[in-house]
Amino acid sequence: MLSETLADFFQDELLRIHPLENFEEVFLYLSRKKETRFALIIDEFPYLIQADRAIPSIFQRGWDQYFSKNNKIMLILNGSSISMMEDQVLSAASPLYGRRTGQWKLQPMTVGQLKGFFPGRV
């Protein structure tokens, strides 16, 4: 699905025919898109870690090899499991430690705040 999304975003029909097989291929592919500013957003990153405990190391290697010198790429890792994000992503024991440039803890939205997304409907 990620290859399909990237194929749509970059209008790359070859990628649709030959999808990327792993995250290293994803990072390499994206690193070659130097002319385009974009954000790679991984939602619920803890679920990915649960599926493969090597994911933080894979992302650390990908960031160091392909993204750290390309200021047009933003990597955003989201997760609703605060403890997992703190332990597996933000802690000093994590391979990703020291690579973040920002961190936000979002609070739940109120009904009043939600109304702003639907003007004239609520």
- On whether residue 97 sits in a domain, the answer given is yes
- On whether residue 6 sits in a domain, the answer given is no
- On whether residue 12 sits in a domain, the answer given is no
pLDDT of the residue at 106: 81
Beta-strand relationship, 73-77 and 38-42: parallel
Q: What is the pLDDT along the chain (122 residues), one digit of tens a residue?
A: 999 999 999 999 999 999 999 999 999 999 888 788 888 999 999 999 999 999 999 999 998 998 877 678 888 898 888 888 888 888 888 888 888 777 888 888 888 888 888 877 65
Matching residue, tokens 């002319």: 35
- On whether residue 120 sits in a domain, the answer given is no
| Alpha helices per DSSP H over the chain | 2-10, 13-17, 23-31, 45-51, 55-62, 82-85, 111-115
pLDDT of the residue at 122: 54
pLDDT of the residue at 117: 83
The residues, any chain, with a CB within 8 Å of residue 112's CB and separated by 6 or more, are: none
pTM for the whole structure: 0.78
- On whether residue 93 sits in a domain, the answer given is yes
Structural domain boundaries enclosing 61: 36-115
Q: Give the total number of structural domains in the chain.
A: 1
- On whether residue 70 sits in a domain, the answer given is yes
